[in-house]
Amino acid sequence: MTRVGSTERARSGGAGSAGAGSGIIVLKVGGASVGRIAIPDEPTVVVHGAGPQISQEMQARGIEPTFVDGRRVTTPEVLEIVMESFAAVNASVCAAIGARAVGLSGADVGLAARQVPELGLVGDPLPSAPPAILGALAAGLVPVVSPLARGPLNVNADEMASALAVGLGATRISFVTDVPGVYHDGELIQSIEAAQAESLVRGGVFDGGIVPKLLAAALAARNGVAADIGVTAVVA
């Protein structure tokens, strides 16, 4: 049974955490959750995915999507679809947020990643704090970032959001999904420790899209950023 701990402890970030006091919130919004964006009062960065849109367009063009541990294998042909889909979703997210939103491509603002050759044009993101994002926050705007890195490289949106949260020294990262939170043994859990989440992923207990979310949340938590997936807090 997954250990259920204190949700309050998870959301506090802990004393001396990297993100403590920064006030920046990172929201990761899935491509299927665009209409459910609630921007908090704190300075907020939104990172979006476009998974359903990309897969739909790939299938329309006769290309079968392939995933490895929740990450999409990306050929040059697939990357073209990824970029088109990100642009469309970015515009939709900005429209849902309103006048304060400013759409940014991660590749254009200088987000960095190490290429993962076995996945094609895919990158492992590196923590960063791009000046364009900091400038938008300072101006009271809401940066809406598509998860592309320089190259361009396709980056899993959960991983990009986590790396950006760490780089910005964010106070909190929240993964907005179309499910209430993380289920284990048929139970919706309130919290899970990062080490346990990683162990369960390695053991094959979780699969599909929850895998990169759990690993991304665990990475953020280990770096002092309070992390939650729906109602489930991921704690260091």
Q: List pLDDT tens digits, range 84-112.
A: 999 999 999 999 999 999 999 999 999 99
Domain hosting 117: range is 7-33+40-235
Write down the pLDDT at residue 30: 77
pTM: 0.87
Kindly report, residue by residue over 105-151, the tens digit of the pLDDT: 999 999 999 999 999 999 999 999 999 999 999 999 999 999 999 99
Instruction: Judge if the upstream peptide bond of residue 152 is cis by omega within 30 degrees of 0.
Output: yes
Residue 214, in any domain of the structure: yes
Amino acid making up residue 174:
S
| C-alpha span between 46 and 29 (Å, rounded) | 7
Taking the alpha carbons of 180, 183, 189, 195 in that order, is the dihedral positive or negative? negative
- Helix boundaries (H) for 5-75: 7-12, 51-60
In a domain, 182, yes or no: yes
Q: Both tokens of residue 203?
A: 């053991």
> How many distinct structural domains can be found in the chain?
1
Residue 8 clears pLDDT 50, i.e. is over it: no
DSSP conformation letters of 183-234? EETTEE-SEEEHHHHHHHHHTTSS-TTHHHHHHHHHHHHHTT-EEEETTEEE
More confident residue, 18 or 65: 65
* Model pLDDT for residues 20-73, shown as the tens digit of each residue: 446 999 999 976 666 668 899 999 999 999 989 999 999 999 999 998 877 899
Q: Is residue 2 part of a domain?
A: no
CATH assignment of the domain containing 13: 3.40.1160.10
27 in a domain, yes or no? Answer: yes
In a domain, 227, yes or no: yes
Could you tell me if residue 116 is inside a domain?
A: yes
Place 208 in a pLDDT band, splitting at 50, 70 and 90: confident
